[in-house]
Structure 1
């Protein structure tokens, strides 16, 4: 299964509440009709602080991150070639401004513990260290780093999304420089206090020291997730 993610910025002149309302109540039901779509989540940005880590932050300013899961790349391409997608694209420009799109391969390191009750979700955009190849980035991130983060206290879920393709707008190819994202992190905790405690732990010291060797920038957000499908 692969995931298509949109990094969304609300259209100029639109308030945060107007953006969220349109995305949830108008756009969500349209996108839910895409053929072959397995899951669809909207992640509404509620906090853009770096929060608990000391690492260079990127210049990302976004209002939401969409996630659409398909069984394969071919299924995704069929969906975005469909009549249903034309309606989605037409509605997109009514409430979204700048947009970056990525297609990612997922590595579920720690499955989400749904039994833990309501959780706080943290998402982070990663840009690989200058001079590192995508293959080297993947090796460091999915290897040592994944094992280190797995040891965080209070961690209720951890997924790594490795970028395989990127585009700007609704389909124009984008270079690494135009869309400097190599990975998207998803982490779940019971509370913000648990996030802060986890990143003060010995396990975090190990992971954050290692991060300096292969990650140029980490841009973090707290999100509220609306599960459409």
Structure 2
């Protein structure tokens, strides 16, 4: 499954609650009419004041061709969802999602999600980054305490992508997320759980941690026309 992930930010002078109403009430319903979209998620930050951006919009397509026909490529990706402003140069990501773990049956509506937009360490090629992520880090992240679903998302165009990948961890509750990953008070958590701590230590081997935007939010499935068993 391919998806377009838009990192959304409110307009200058606009409050988060105003942005949220405009996004969810006015713009999000329009996505249903975009040709080729088979699933639509919105992710609203649990703590808007501490969040690095104001929301995430995810549009799923059966194929890359369908995605490109609907939202375009290159500069077209900078529009965000329904014309909403996005976050500077790093506003959107087009990738192929790979399911690494699932205890939800495909139903992510209402779950709490940690989305990390990954940037490789200086001096590392994208190929080396991906190989390490897949073979060394993903097996650790897959077993982080409390995770009920885990995706990795690989860019379809690594040379032109804003990020080297996206890691998406789902939890049943915000308490479970914080219990696994640690306090949300700092940009880089200090996990207390054994596997989560090992995964955090490992990220220094392949990520530029300070360049990694992320968001903790609650996901809403706006509509789903997929066969969930295969999702």
Q: Output the TM-score relative to the length of structure 2.
A: 0.76
Partner residue, 2:125: 133
Q: Secondary structure at the match of 2:23?
A: helix
**What runs of 5+ residues in structure 2 fail to find an aligned partner?**
181-190, 224-231
Equivalent residue runs for 1:89-104 within 5 Å: 92=83, 95-96=84-85, 98-99=87-88, 100-104=91-95
Displacement of 1:163 in angstroms is 2.4
Partner residue, 1:147: 139
Deviation string, structure 1 residues 23-49 (Cα, Å, up to 9, x no partner): 111111212111111111111223379
Displacement of 1:102 in angstroms is 1.1
Q: Could you say what the CA RMSD is over the residues aligned between the two structures, in angstroms?
A: 2.9
Alignment partner of 2:169 out of 187, 207, 219: 187
Deviation string, structure 1 residues 127-147 (Cα, Å, up to 9, x no partner): 111111111111111222111
**What runs of 5+ residues in structure 1 fail to find an aligned partner?**
51-59, 167-173
Query: Residues 98, 47 of structure 1: CA spacing in aligned structure 2 closer, same or farther, 3 A cutoff?
Result: same
Which is strand-richer, 1 or 2? 1
Structure 2: distance between partners of 1:116 and 1:3: 16
Equivalent residue runs for 1:204-215 within 5 Å: 204-215=196-207
Q: Secondary structure at the match of 2:196?
A: helix
Equivalent residue runs for 1:34-183 within 5 Å: 34-47=34-47, 61-80=52-71, 92=83, 95-96=84-85, 98-99=87-88, 100-113=91-104, 118-165=110-157, 179=162, 181-183=163-165
Displacement of 1:182 in angstroms is 1.6
Q: Secondary structure at the match of 1:203?
A: helix
Partner residue, 1:222: 216
Deviation string, structure 1 residues 129-187 (Cα, Å, up to 9, x no partner): 11111111111112221111122222111111122348xxxxxxx956xx4x2222211
Q: Output the TM-score relative to the length of structure 1.
A: 0.77
Query: Residues 112, 66 of structure 1: CA spacing in aligned structure 2 closer, same or farther, 3 A cutoff?
Result: farther
Displacement of 1:3 in angstroms is 0.7
Displacement of 1:226 in angstroms is 2.6
Higher relative contact order (CA 8 A, sep 6+): 1
Count of residues paired in the alignment = 203
Query: Residues 91, 71 of structure 1: CA spacing in aligned structure 2 closer, same or farther, 3 A cutoff?
Result: closer
List, as ranges, runs of 4+ consecutive aligned residues in structure 1 with deviation greater than 6 Å: none
